[in-house]
């Protein structure tokens, strides 16, 4: 559970979110978030001076960094934020890094400059073609494979369908492929079982055994099912949050109208 404080007297409580953070050899951490549900909307509503009460992490096992040879790093959406520090570390260790960054549209492309700085080659895609090449990151991966590019490792971070497609694309060629899974997390210690994933039909926990797993051993169908378990509750929470925001907006507008009326009367 993560608590958020907007001011000295106001506490807003939301669920634990997995922050896509990047902190490359710096004494501070920069978090990258996309507004999707109630909690991320709350986080992105923060202003200078607001602060988070509790941060838990890092959780799980560190990324495996060594000189593999040629590594393809794929970032889909906000997954690029997690892919970036790993790409940088792989490059620093002497790998040839080919990065593929994708987003739904131009406005959602993130960290383009940063990824270019740590990559030998950077490929960009957007689903709607509003920026760079139209298509998906997995289209670029298949092109590399079909062109005979030697690939020693693939790291895919992003939406579940993208990571599954990456695993399917590399399975026949037996290219080692790592995915970073993002199931629902509650306590972050492995006790609750909320982030349970099936790896070769064996239960493991993303918060302690992951988040990175061999893509060819992941049961993506079960992962999709488990991530959808709380979708109705998430929609309900978001709808209630939006109604609350609308109510506050109407209240503020009434106060402004009253103030304007009072000011006019004083003249």
pLDDT in tens, 130-160: 999 999 999 999 999 999 999 999 999 999 9
Query: pLDDT of 94-110, one tens digit each?
Result: 999 999 999 999 999 99
Domain at 70-227, CATH class:
alpha beta
Q: Would you place residue 38 in the very low, low, confident or very high pLDDT band (cuts 50, 70, 90)? A: confident
Q: What is the pTM of this model?
A: 0.81
Q: Taking residues 29-51, report their average pLDDT.
A: 79
pLDDT attached to residue 11? 42
- CB–CB of 167/72 below 8 Å? no
> Could you tell me which of 33, 22, 9, 44 has the C-alpha nearest to residue 245?
44
Q: Which residue has the tokens 């959406």?
A: 77
Query: Could you give the percent of the chain with pLDDT greater than 90?
Result: 55
Going from N- to C-terminal start, the domains of the chain cover 1-55, 70-227, 231-267
């Amino acid at each position: 559970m993560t608590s958020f404080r907007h001011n000295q007297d106001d506490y807003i409580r939301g669920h634990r979110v997995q922050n896509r953070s990047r902190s490359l050899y710096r004494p501070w951490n920069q978090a990258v978030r996309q507004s999707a549900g109630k909690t991320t909307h709350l986080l992105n509503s923060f202003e200078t001076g607001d602060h988070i009460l509790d941060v838990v992490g890092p959780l799980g096992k560190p990324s495996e960094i060594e000189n593999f040879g040629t590594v393809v790093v794929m970032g889909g959406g906000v997954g690029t934020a997690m892919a970036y520090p790993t790409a940088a570390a792989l490059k620093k260790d002497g790998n040839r890094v080919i990065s593929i960054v994708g987003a739904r549209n131009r406005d959602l492309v993130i960290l383009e400059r940063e990824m270019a700085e740590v990559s030998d080659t950077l490929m960009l895609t957007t689903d709607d073609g509003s920026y760079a090449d139209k298509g998906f990151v997995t289209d670029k991966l298949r092109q590399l494979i079909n062109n005979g590019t030697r690939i020693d490792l693939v790291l895919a971070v992003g939406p579940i369908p993208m990571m599954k497609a990456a695993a399917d694309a590399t399975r026949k060629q037996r290219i080692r492929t790592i995915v970073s899974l993002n199931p629902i997390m509650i306590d972050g210690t492995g006790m609750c079982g909320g982030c349970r994933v099936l790896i070769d039909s064996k239960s493991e926990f993303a918060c302690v055994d992951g988040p990175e797993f061999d893509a060819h051993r992941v049961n993506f169908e079960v992962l999709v099912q488990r991530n959808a378990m709380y979708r109705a509750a998430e929609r309900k929470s978001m709808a209630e949050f939006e109604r609350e925001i609308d109510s506050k907006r109407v209240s503020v507008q009434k106060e402004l109208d009253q103030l304007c009326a009072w000011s006019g009367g004083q003249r």
